[in-house]
C-alpha cells in the first residue's frame, strides 16, 4: 500500500480526532504533519504501555532517540530493531513502524521532525525513570512542555516551512500545554489505575481545569493569529474547538465527548471554513 494512504489508515485507527484535521491538509503539509503525529504516537504508546516496566520503557525510548539522531537521508526496515529487542512482539504497529513514519515527511523538513521526536523520546525516558512524579506546578509545566508544548513549537515550524506563516512561540507552547492538560484531566481515573497521577500534590480537578483554561487562552490567541483560511488555521481551529468542548463537558460531569458530538462539532467548524 502507498505509505501516505497507509499512514492515514493507521492515523484513523489511533486517533479519529487528529485524523480529521490532518486528512484536510494539502499535499506536502499533510505528509509532514502525519509524520510528526505518527512518530510521536509511536513513542507515546511505549510510554503508556501498561505491560512494560518503567526501566524497560526508558531504555527503549532512549535507544529510539539515539537512532533518530543518527539519521542522514532517512531510515529503512530494521533500523529500529535494536531499540525494540525482545519486546517487539508486544508493541503496537504504530510503534514498530516509526522508521516509516519518520521518512514520510518531505525530505527538506523531515530532519526537524526527527529532532523533535528524538528530544521528546529522551524526555519521556526521564519521566518513565521517575514514574511521572509530579509534585508541583513547575513539575507539571515541565511535563506538559516535554510531551506537548514542544509539539506546538514543531507545528509552528511546519507552518513556516509550508507557506511562511509566522507565529508567537509562547502561544505555541500554550497551545500544546493546554491540550495536554485537557488529556490529563480526561484520563485521570485511568492513569490512577496504573499507579500514575499527573496532578501536582493537593490539586483537584478544579485546579487542573484552571491550569488547562489558562493555557487554552494562549491557544486561543495562537489560533486567532493564524491567517484566515490557511491550512494551519483550519487544523488548529478543529483541534482547539474539541479541546474547549471536552473541558466544558468534564466541567458538567461527562468524562469525554461522544463520537457523534465530535463529528457534529467538526462539521460546524468545517462548514464555517
Domains of the chain: which residue ranges?
Answer: 1-130, 132-273
CATH number belonging to the domain at 1-130, selected among 3.40.50.2000, 1.10.600.10, 3.40.50.720, 3.30.70.260: 1.10.600.10
Asked if 143 contacts 215 with a C-beta cutoff of 8 angstroms, the reply is no
Per-residue cell: 62: 532512549
Q: Which whole-number Å values give the CA distances from 190 to 127, 198, 245, 261, in the listed order?
A: 18, 11, 20, 22
- pLDDT tier at 17, thresholds 50, 70, 90: confident
pLDDT tens-digit readout, 156-165:
999 999 999 9
What pLDDT is stored for residue 100 in this prediction? 96
pLDDT > 80? residue 90: yes
pLDDT > 90? residue 256: no
Per-residue cell: 178: 493546554
Residues in the chain: 273
CATH 1.10.600.10 corresponds to the domain 132-273: yes
Supply the pTM of this predicted model.
0.93
Quick count: other Cβ atoms within 10 Å of Cβ 73?
A: 9
Give me the mean pLDDT over the 127-144 stretch.
Answer: 97
End-to-end CA distance of the chain: 32
What percent of the chain has a predicted confidence (pLDDT) above 70?
93
In a 13 Å sphere around the CA of 194, the CA atoms on its Cβ side amount to: 17
Give the C-alpha separation, 54 to 46, whole Å.
10
Give the residue with greater pLDDT, 10 vs 259. 10
Domain 1-130 and domain 132-273 have a common topology: yes
What pLDDT is stored for residue 253 in this prediction? 72
Give the residue with greater pLDDT, 16 vs 68. 68
Out of 76-85, 128-137, 177-186, 254-263, which region has the weakest mean confidence (pLDDT)?
Answer: 254-263
Residue among 14, 116, 133, 5 at smallest CA distance from 65:
116
Amino acid at each position: 500500500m502507498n505509505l501516505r494512504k497507509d499512514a492515514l489508515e493507521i492515523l484513523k485507527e489511533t486517533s479519529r480526532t487528529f485524523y480529521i484535521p490532518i486528512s484536510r491538509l494539502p499535499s506536502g503539509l499533510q505528509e509532514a504533519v502525519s509524520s510528526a503525529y505518527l512518530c510521536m504516537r509511536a513513542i507515546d504508546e511505549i510510554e503508556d504501555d501498561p505491560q512494560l516496566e518503567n526501566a524497560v520503557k526508558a531504555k527503549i525510548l532512549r535507544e529510539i532517540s539515539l537512532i533518530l539522531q543518527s539519521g542522514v537521508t532517512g531510515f529503512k526496515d530494521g533500523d529500529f530493531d535494536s531499540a525494540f529487542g525482545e519486546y517487539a512482539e508486544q508493541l503496537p504497529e504504530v510503534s514498530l513502524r516509526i522508521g516509516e513514519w519518520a521518512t514520510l515527511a518531505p525530505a527538506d523538513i523531515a530532519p526537524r521532525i526527527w529532532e523533535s521526536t528524538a528530544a521528546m523520546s529522551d524526555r519521556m525516558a526521564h519521566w518513565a525513570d521517575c514514574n511521572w512524579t509530579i509534585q508541583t506546578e513547575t513539575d507539571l509545566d515541565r511535563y506538559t512542555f516535554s510531551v506537548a508544548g514542544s509539539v506546538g513549537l514543531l507545528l509552528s515550524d511546519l507552518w513556516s516551512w509550508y507557506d511562511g506563516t509566522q507565529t508567537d512561540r509562547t502561544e505555541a507552547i500554550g497551545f500544546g500545554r493546554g491540550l495536554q492538560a485537557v488529556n490529563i484531566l480526561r484520563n485521570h481515573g485511568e492513569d490512577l489505575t496504573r499507579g500514575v497521577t499527573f496532578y501536582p500534590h493537593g490539586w483537584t480537578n478544579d485546579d487542573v481545569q484552571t491550569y488547562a483554561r489558562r493555557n487554552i487562552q494562549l491557544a486561543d490567541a495562537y489560533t486567532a493569529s493564524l491567517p484566515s483560511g490557511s491550512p494551519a488555521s483550519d487544523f488548529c481551529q478543529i483541534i482547539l474547538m474539541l479541546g474547549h468542548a471536552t473541558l466544558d463537558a468534564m466541567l458538567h460531569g461527562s468524562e469525554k465527548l461522544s463520537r457523534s458530538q465530535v463529528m457534529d462539532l467538526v462539521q460546524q467548524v468545517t462548514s464555517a471554513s
